[in-house]
Structure 1
Amino acid sequence: MFTKQSRHRQLSPLTVIAGSFLLLIIIGTFLLKLPIATEVPISWVDALFVATSGTTVTGLSVFDPGSTLTLFGEIVLLVLIQCGGLGLMIFAVALLALLRRKIGLKNRIYVQESLGQSTAGGMVKLVIWVLIFVFAFEGAAVILLSLHWIPEYGWNKGFYYSVFHAISAFNNAGFSLFPDNLVQFAGDPVVNIILSMMFIIGGLGFVVVMEIFQKKTFREWSLHTKMMVVGTIILNIVATITLFILEYNNPDTIGNFSIYDKVLASYFQGVTPRTAGFNTIATGEMEDSSLLFTMILMFIGGGTASTASGIKLTTFIVIVLASISFVKGIQEPHLFGRSIRTEVLIRSLAITTVSMFIIFFFIFLLTLTEDIAVLPLAFEVVSSFGTVGLSTGITADLSSIGKVIICIVMFIGRIGPLTLFFLFLKQKRETFKFPYDQVHTG
């Protein structure tokens, strides 16, 4: 028989990390269900939905947070966003460090998994740097937004709006206190640029940003950092141009805007699917082609060990490089003078395959439980899986079963598709090989 202590020791880092998110969701659900958290009573399912959305930094909501939640409820949501974006283990290690308590190898390994590092060395220093970096960027955004919003909304409301949206943006949550999200700011360059820079930086990944600060030249950067920075720039430019062309004549989105506002709105709507979830145009009024293109962006997502989800940009780049290499007859894909290992390629293929299976499976489930067209349902599932938070407007119309299904998708998207399988399947290393045989493909 196993003792209680031995069973605890057998918990893998992935189990602890997934459990910490689940714990946050449970606590958040109970807090949001309290009478002091909402202006009007909400159901347990709605409380669970918003708590899950906040913890997984998704941004989907079954009600307007600004009018439904009280100040207490909004603060609860904000704490869920901040803790969910960074991870409980990072805060736990930081607290132990502040209390000058010894941080064991187990906690270092938990942080290692949370931040996607290859070794457990230097984790405490990295955690402290991450927290300083996060609060510094959020603080700077609060100051800049306050200078813009305080003259319009007054000291209290202007400052509070700035704090809420800065934290929501950096953590790629997409929650807003305005009833139309950010539609009223479609032509406001200050709001668009500040918030987009926040969620783009948050989506790059803490380790990437740290390396950019420490190593000043492009040549010094690791291959991962080069791929993230260059890939982000290229993808954002392509997304902006594509949406500008697709929505140019749509009177329900940017069709009636000036050229300047069209470019600004196309830019914001092009970068926000990288798991941010804010919107400056009505997502539900976009062309079907734009929705499909946005789904691709949401599926790709942001960077590893960031506040973003999706299959991750580097995963997408690796698969593209491998496909190009195969067509050209190159044995190993390479970029910037560096080859990519076979195990990285296999992992990328596994992540993409598992992710597509999960998405199609839950779309199928929703077609059984909801009387809604397939495209909006598919958009909702991909948005949930990428923890983006964009919606065509069907979230509140989902049945209780449908809402629970979306909660499950958001949770899987935040912890990662492969983590789900690692939690239930025991990994093993084979000490033997079977003989090869011919398999015809393509």
Structure 2
Amino acid sequence: MQGFVPFYPIFCPFSACLILFSYDIIPVRGEIVMRATRKGNPVKLGIETLKREVRSKKVALLMNHTALDQQGQNLIDVMPAWECEVVFLIGLEHGIRGNLYQNIRSGPDQRTGLYVHSIYNFSNPRYHLDASLFRDVDGIVATFQDAGVRHYTYIAMLFYQMNVLTPLGKTVWVLDRPNPIGGHMVEGGGMKKELFSSLGVFDYPLRHGMTIGELATMYNQTVLQGKCDLRVIPMEGWERTMWYEDTGLIWIPASPNIPTPMTFLAFATTGLLQNSGFSCGVGTTYPFFVFGSPATRGNEIASQLNALDLPGFIAIERYFQPSFDQESDQVYHGTMLHIYDREAFRPYRTQLEILSLLGREYPSGFHMENRHFNRRNGSMDVYDMIIRQEPPHIIIEKWAENAKRFEETRQPYLLY
């Protein structure tokens, strides 16, 4: 059957949006997933090339539920039947099946019986496995759906494993996948070295416009001096101007709070409100499209944002009540973003204006864990702007210059 997916989750019938996208809705093993409908040939993943690469090899898999092939089958379930030996699995945030929330423990995968070594748990703050675990493998195969946004942990987990595997001479195969919010736009500030963490392992912008294979190539050359035996298996047919629904690939929610591809664009806009004291809609059916607190006046915030005449969206008043993550017994008088022109919309410019507005109007509402907030942002600049109640134009100009420099810096590492 065919359905329309707005910029909000498909399971939110009372949501309305100004732009709709067409998807085929299909069941895959009891779960509803979506294949974007597109004229012409869809993007083709390098599955057959990967098969040849790992033939007769012993490998570990750095994957999760988003590691789908063209038919919607998870490679975690498919690869054990290939002519290779899968020795163990490496678990990302939310687990290999995408059904867990935090502090992911190690243990056997119920379906395959393979042992899952979780690298996202409170007992492993280094986010990588011990080198001894890789002694009997030829390397790892990595593939997952990234966000196109730096402060999303999946890509950092790959870099941490590359650090361990490089001195061992092991191979890292990366099956490349699309950047869901396009490869043609770069926005936001870089990453200060003293703030490197699972939310950013090296210096690149918040919205980088690169695929996981391109980022891995850049990390290998600039951080590891090209010493990692990295083999990126590219896609066929992907173009930098594509959004996810242009690819023809099957979509499955990338994490519990990313139900649709366009939620990534909202995540890029309000994601920094995590660790701030304000809700960004986590625990609702439209995460990251709404923000606020019980004390905010959503109608006034919407009016002030609209008066700035920022491109690509309008803000409206929206009451909401999170079912988890925040105080679920509180009603939040919030603001919702209606993104009607994603090409014109600039999430990080919009984000700075939102943070500046909240800092001026509701300074007591910020209960920031400044260490985590700054790690998400990549520098102390935004935190200082909020505390000092300064206008955002200086940071906006600085970020624009940083993005322009990065567009030149990234050129040698682009594959498409």
TM range (shorter): under 0.3
TM-score by length of 2: 0.24
Larger strand fraction of residues = 2
Larger helix fraction of residues = 1
